Amino acid sequence: MLTNFPVLNGLLGLLLTSAVLIAVPGPSIMFIVGQAVSVGRTNALRGVIGNAIGTYFVAVIVAFGIGSLLIQSSMALMVIRLLGSAALLAIGFQYLFFSKPL
């Protein structure tokens, strides 16, 4: 049926996969619930907003096909991985050295 329209076939697969992944609760839901229980609704709302921004960013990358370009360019992918690692290390050091004791 959709064999004559490969773009629609790929789009249908993307939509079905996205729907399943959105319907299944994952780590972001656990994080938001944990924030709501431990520190309140305001911080949970910040988590929701951050999650939405991150999801939007990934959707834009997928929609424009930048993801496949990054996979083909090993240098660009390495730069993104290094930047992500540096950001996680910075957050970890802030948490370890500048957070209030429990």
15 by Cβ neighbours in 10 Å (0-12 / 13-18 / 19+) ranks as exposed
Q: Based on the domain organization, do 37 and 79 belong to the same domain?
A: no
Q: Based on the domain organization, do 78 and 49 belong to the same domain?
A: no
Sign of CA dihedral 84, 85, 88, 89: negative
Which tops the pLDDT comparison, 88 or 28? 88
Q: Based on the domain organization, do 47 and 82 belong to the same domain?
A: no
* Euclidean distance between CA atoms 51 and 38, whole angstroms: 18
Q: Is the pLDDT of residue 83 over 90?
A: yes
Structural domain range at position 72: 66-102
Task: Give the mean model confidence (pLDDT) for residues 27-42.
Answer: 89
To the nearest whole number, what is the mean pLDDT of the chain?
Answer: 82
Task: Give the mean model confidence (pLDDT) for residues 39-68.
Answer: 86
List the one residue out of 101, 78, 81, 79 whose CA is nearest residue 89. 81
Q: Is the pLDDT of residue 47 over 70?
A: yes
The number of folded domains in the chain is 2
* Euclidean distance between CA atoms 10 and 7, whole angstroms: 5
